[in-house]
């Protein structure tokens, strides 16, 4: 079951699923205005479910029913579905071989207003019930859901024992071609993008204080007449991963679970396992991906756990920032 060939078959399935989700969202968007796409449809999995999310959800159910191989029964865990869901339909969870975690549309808030690409994310691991962890994912894929002005939509995928596969799709012709990913080779952070996630008002002040202290210590206050560290708040974990893989960002991190804990604040507005399920792509691209305090940012494949993580474009950048960030976190979040 855990052969390289089996893992690659799973990768291909996740890629096909990602394309089905992308196409369903694009089709649904073409006949709906942004006002209807941004309507609140539900609350589930620790997040708000908007009308546009329903396009991806429906595509997933249809795709699994029609395409998932009967010999590899799977449990599907995803944002918006709170009940047990297995394929082939009717399979008990105890009889499944695999556990697949999905975020149909990671970056809903950006795509529903046609501001920025969203991502369909998927990861799959051998089934171990509630003990199945992010670190056990053996195949992952992330598929771009583009804005209306884009003709190109990228897809990145990999397996635990295979290479990174990068395909650029022309959505006008439904053709694709491979492309090369290149992380930043910068040796410092000056004149580059590096940021911590602070998408929403909750916890933003503390996160900003931590980030400001980080750059004060690493770069120096007022060391240049113009800012040398740039901030880009891409409201999508998959999108943040992509920016590292493509060489656009030098560091991205999400410490919201740690910040909310320090503030004794109850909030679902954090990164969840379904947001981070494609982290294997980031690692296979050669980026440094870790918990802000060290180790792998592990969590069970569920829809409620918080995931704190930090990603650096290369080991040298990690070596510069890691000790400073950990010292500051211990001061602010103790």
Q: Which residues contact 175 (CB under 8 A, 6 or more apart)?
A: 169
How many Cβ atoms from other residues are within 10 Å of residue 137's Cβ? 26
How many Cβ atoms from other residues are within 10 Å of residue 85's Cβ? 18
Chain position carrying tokens 């999108």 = 239
Q: Which residues contact 63 (CB under 8 A, 6 or more apart)?
A: 16, 17, 20, 21
- The pLDDT, as a whole number, for residue 132 is 98
pLDDT band at 220 (very low <50, low <70, confident <90, very high): confident
Chain position carrying tokens 């024992």 = 161
pLDDT band at 112 (very low <50, low <70, confident <90, very high): confident
Say what angle helices 53-67 and 4-30 make with each other, to 10 degrees: 140
User: Are 122 and 101 within 8 A, CB to CB?
Assistant: yes
pLDDT higher at 71 or 46 = 71
- The pLDDT, as a whole number, for residue 121 is 97
pLDDT of 37 > 60? The answer is no
Q: What percent of the chain has pLDDT over 90?
A: 81
**Nearest-angstrom CA–CA distance, 100 and 76:** 5
- The residues facing 98 across adjacent strands are 74, 126
Of the candidates 15, 181, 44, 17, the one whose C-alpha atom is nearest the C-alpha of residue 108 is 44
| 108 CB burial (10 A radius; 0-12, 13-18, 19+) | buried
* Domains of the chain with CATH codes: 4-178 (3.30.540.10), 192-332 (3.40.190.80)
Chain position carrying tokens 């809903």 = 108
Of the candidates 152, 148, 143, the one whose C-alpha atom is nearest the C-alpha of residue 104 is 143
- The pLDDT, as a whole number, for residue 235 is 96
pLDDT higher at 221 or 172 = 172
The tokens describing 46, both together, are 């620790």
**Nearest-angstrom CA–CA distance, 41 and 194:** 34
**Nearest-angstrom CA–CA distance, 200 and 68:** 37
pLDDT band at 297 (very low <50, low <70, confident <90, very high): very high
pLDDT of 141 > 70? The answer is yes
Q: What percent of the chain has pLDDT over 70?
A: 90
pLDDT tens readout for residues 155-198? 999 999 999 999 999 999 999 999 999 999 999 999 999 999 99
**Nearest-angstrom CA–CA distance, 235 and 75:** 28
Q: Which residues contact 10 (CB under 8 A, 6 or more apart)?
A: 72, 98, 124, 138, 139, 159
Say what angle helices 315-332 and 204-218 make with each other, to 10 degrees: 130
């Amino acid at each position: 079951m855990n052969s390289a060939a089996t893992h690659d078959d799973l990768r291909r399935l996740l890629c096909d699923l990602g394309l089905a989700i992308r196409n369903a969202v694009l089709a649904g968007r073409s006949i709906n205005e942004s006002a209807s796409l941004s309507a609140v449809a539900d609350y589930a999995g620790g997040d708000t479910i908007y009308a546009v999310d329903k396009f991806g959800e429906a595509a997933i159910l249809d795709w699994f029913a029609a395409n998932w191989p009967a010999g590899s029964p799977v449990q599907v865990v995803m944002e918006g579905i709170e009940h047990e869901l297995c394929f082939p339909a009717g399979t008990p969870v105890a009889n499944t071989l695999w556990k697949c975690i999905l975020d149909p549309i990671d970056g809903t808030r950006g795509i529903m207003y046609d501001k920025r690409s969203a991502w369909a994310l998927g990861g799959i691991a051998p089934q171990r019930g509630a003990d199945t962890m992010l670190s056990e994912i053996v195949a992952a894929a992330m598929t771009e859901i583009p804005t209306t002005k884009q003709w190109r939509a990228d897809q990145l995928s990999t397996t635990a024992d295979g290479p990174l596969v990068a395909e650029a799709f022309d959505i006008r012709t439904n053709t694709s071609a491979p492309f090369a990913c290149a992380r930043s080779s910068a040796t410092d952070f000056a004149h580059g993008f590096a940021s911590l996630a602070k998408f929403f008002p909750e916890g933003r002040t503390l996160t900003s204080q931590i980030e400001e202290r980080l750059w004060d210590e690493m770069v120096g206050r007022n060391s240049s007449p113009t800012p040398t560290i740039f901030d880009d708040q891409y409201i999508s974990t998959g999108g943040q991963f992509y920016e590292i893989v493509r060489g656009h960002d030098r560091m991205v991190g999400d410490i919201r679970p740690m910040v909310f804990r320090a503030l004794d604040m109850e909030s679902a507005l954090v990164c969840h396992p379904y947001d981070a399920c494609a982290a294997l792509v980031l690692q296979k691209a050669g980026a440094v991906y870790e918990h802000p305090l060290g180790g792998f940012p592990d969590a069970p494949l569920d829809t409620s756990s918080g995931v704190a993580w930090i990603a650096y474009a290369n080991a040298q950048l990690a070596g510069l920032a890691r000790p400073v960030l950990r010292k500051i976190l211990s001061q602010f979040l103790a």
